[in-house]
Amino acid sequence: MYLFECEVTFAAEPATVWRIWTDVARWPEWDASKEIAQMEGGFQVGSSGWVKKHNALGGTFAITSVEPGRRWTSESPLPLGRVIFDHIIEPVPGGKVRVVKGVEVEGGSAGLFRVLAAARMRRDIEATLAALQRRVQAYEQARARAGQEAQAGQARTQAEPARARQAPARAQPAQAEPAQGQVRPPGRTPHVA
């Protein structure tokens, strides 16, 4: 058995990390190593998916455990073994989150994996976690801006009636009154609009 972990800690809401990290179909939007990612069924135990990296063959994976908002595990087959990926999201004091991706290789191919693929996989995972951090923080910043704009719009909307109440009443045009001693022609009364 061969195991390694990569991790990153950054300011974010754990729920946002979970939402983005488990949206398999959108992985290629933010993870430069992935060309295609798809999932059959919902994000739950027993669901399977397929991922193709740039300049590499595609491979299948299956979700083997899910602790919503906190942790999920997937497995991919290898000749004479399997690779187990553990994905962990932990809140950290100060509004931060610790994100960990662990890799465990089991079976007869563990030694060969260590020699041929481990270093590259570690680099890919480190780049993926950095990309996840950027995506999560960009999402949260956009959400905060949208919230601020919504509050500003609501404040403007609430201020409109107050401004209308404070606006001076428009003067109605005065009707010409006949001069003293003059008589208004019959049938012609002042018209008020």
- Under 8 Å between Cβ of 80 and 62: no
**Is the residue at 105 inside a domain?**
yes
pLDDT value of position 126: 96
Residue 37, pLDDT > 60, answer yes
- Could you tell me if residue 38 is inside a domain? yes
Interatomic CA distance for residues 126 and 113, integer angstroms: 18
Q: Cα(55)–Cα(25) distance, rounded to whole angstroms?
A: 19
Q: Is residue 138 part of a domain?
A: yes
CATH number, domain with residue 19: 3.30.530.20
How far apart, in whole angstroms, are the C-alpha atoms of residue 64 and residue 162? 59
pLDDT per residue as tens digits for the range 124-174: 999 999 999 999 999 999 999 998 888 887 777 776 666 666 655 555 555
Alpha-carbon distances of 36 from 23, 55, 86, 173, rounded to whole Å: 13, 12, 21, 72
pLDDT for the residue numbered 79: 87
Dihedral pair phi/psi, residue 49, rounded to 5°: -150, 180
Strands 71-78 and 81-92: antiparallel
Report pLDDT digits (tens) over 12-34. Answer: 999 999 999 999 999 999 998 89
This prediction's pTM? 0.75
Per the structure, the complete domain to which residue 103 belongs is given by: 2-145
